[in-house]
Amino acid sequence: MAAPRKVLIVGAGGRMGLAMARLISQRAVPGLELVAAVDRAGAPLLGQDPGVAAGVPAFGVILGADLAAGLAARPDVAVDFSSPSATAATAAQVAAAGVPWVVGTTGLGAAEQAAVAQAAQKIPVVLSANMSLGVNLLYALVAQAARTLAGLRYDCEIVERHHRRKKDAPSGTALYLGEAAAQGFGWNLKDVAIDGRTGIPGERPEKEIGFHAVRGGDVVGDHTVLFAADGECIELSHRATSRDTLALGALRAAAWLPGRAPALYGMRDVLGLTAPAP
């Protein structure tokens, strides 16, 4: 029997970090072992065992604020759901340590994305705005729909809903789906994206993809891509009802990544989907 993959969770005290700890304890993805857990300085759960915090048996691991100490536990892979502001520093440290890195943090700016890409020159990295199987299938469907509808004057709009605590908008998943639509239409998303509308913006141009963010309650994540033409509207949707779906995808990536060549991978690589990358 192969030795278990030793996992370091970065952002272990957050909702996603605790979900991953619970799923590791429950062997939702076989062959994973939690060996270290870190979070930001001042995080509420520092000093606690992430298993106890997640409502499962203790791992014998103490949640700390020192990433270097977590890497000293010699993990086979690090799984990161922390914050965009921490990404560049984390990228440099995991790359220097030679530890494969799964990045689920959303809201990354150009500097953070560049840091991830630089790390991927030295270590294998999985970066994805959404790690669920369903969303990655939806990406392929949206790209195919846009290719089919290109030139037929179908307008594209993306509506996303999330819980009140979400900090970034539009969501990373909405932008990911926007990339799929833009790719299918043969457009550059940066040239056609518009973030909501207000006032009197005038008639909608043909080459435009609108993003609309709803925030409230404890909504895990709903995404709908609309293709609207005169006389009909096509809607492709995904609804997450539990963060376990995202955490499970991240753990699948953690099991898949060690041993891969240094490169920047996506969840479609992990899941074996053939849709072209954005």
Q: What is the DSSP string of 216-248?
A: -TT--EEEEEEEEETTEEEEEEEEE--THHHHH
Map out the domains of the chain with their CATH numbers.
5-127+243-271 (3.40.50.720), 133-240 (3.30.360.10)
pTM: 0.83
Burial code (b: 16+ CB inside 10 Å, e: under 16) for 98-115 equals ebbbbbbbbbbeeebbeb
What integer best gives the mean pLDDT of the chain?
A: 94
What pLDDT score does 129 carry? Answer: 82
Structure-block tokens of residue 261 = 């060549």
Average pLDDT value for residue range 221-236: 97
Asked if 163 is an active-site residue, the reply is no
Average pLDDT value for residue range 154-167: 96
Distance CA 155, CA 26 (A): 44
| Residue type at position 141 | L
Residues across the chain: 278
Cis upstream peptide for 170 (omega within 30°): yes
Write the CB contacts of 150 (distance below 8 Å, at least 6 apart in sequence). Answer: 184, 185, 186
Structure-block tokens of residue 100 = 């494969």
Are the CB atoms for 186 and 207 separated by under 8 Å?
no
Helix (H, G, I), strand (E, B) or coil at 93: helix
Write the CB contacts of 28 (distance below 8 Å, at least 6 apart in sequence). Answer: 244, 248, 251
What pLDDT score does 276 carry? Answer: 46
Closest CA to 96 of 72, 75, 119, 78: 119
Q: Where are the alpha helices (DSSP H) in the chain?
A: 15-25, 50-53, 67-72, 84-97, 110-119, 133-149, 172-185, 189-192, 244-256, 267-271
Q: At residue 16, does pLDDT exceed 50?
A: yes
10 Å CB burial of residue 234 (0-12, 13-18, 19+) is middle
What pLDDT score does 47 carry? Answer: 96
Are the CB atoms for 38 and 12 separated by under 8 Å?
yes
Asked if 190 is an active-site residue, the reply is no
Model confidence over 21-59: pLDDT tens digits? 999 999 999 999 999 999 999 999 999 999 999 999 999
Helix (H, G, I), strand (E, B) or coil at 157: strand
Average pLDDT value for residue range 240-261: 94
Average pLDDT value for residue range 196-204: 93
What pLDDT score does 274 carry? Answer: 60
Average pLDDT value for residue range 62-67: 97
Average pLDDT value for residue range 170-194: 96
- Indicate the pLDDT class of residue 1, thresholds 50, 70 and 90: low
CA dihedral 237, 126, 83, 69 (to 10 degrees): 150
Model confidence over 80-129: pLDDT tens digits? 999 999 999 999 999 999 999 999 998 889 999 999 999 999 999 999 98
Q: Which of 122, 163, 166, 207 is catalytic?
A: 166
Distance CA 191, CA 186 (A): 11
Are the CB atoms for 50 and 34 separated by under 8 Å?
yes
What pLDDT score does 265 carry? Answer: 96
Helix (H, G, I), strand (E, B) or coil at 102: strand
Percent of the chain exceeding pLDDT 90 equals 90
Across-strand partners of 9? 37, 79
Q: Which of 6, 162, 223, 238 is catalytic?
A: 162
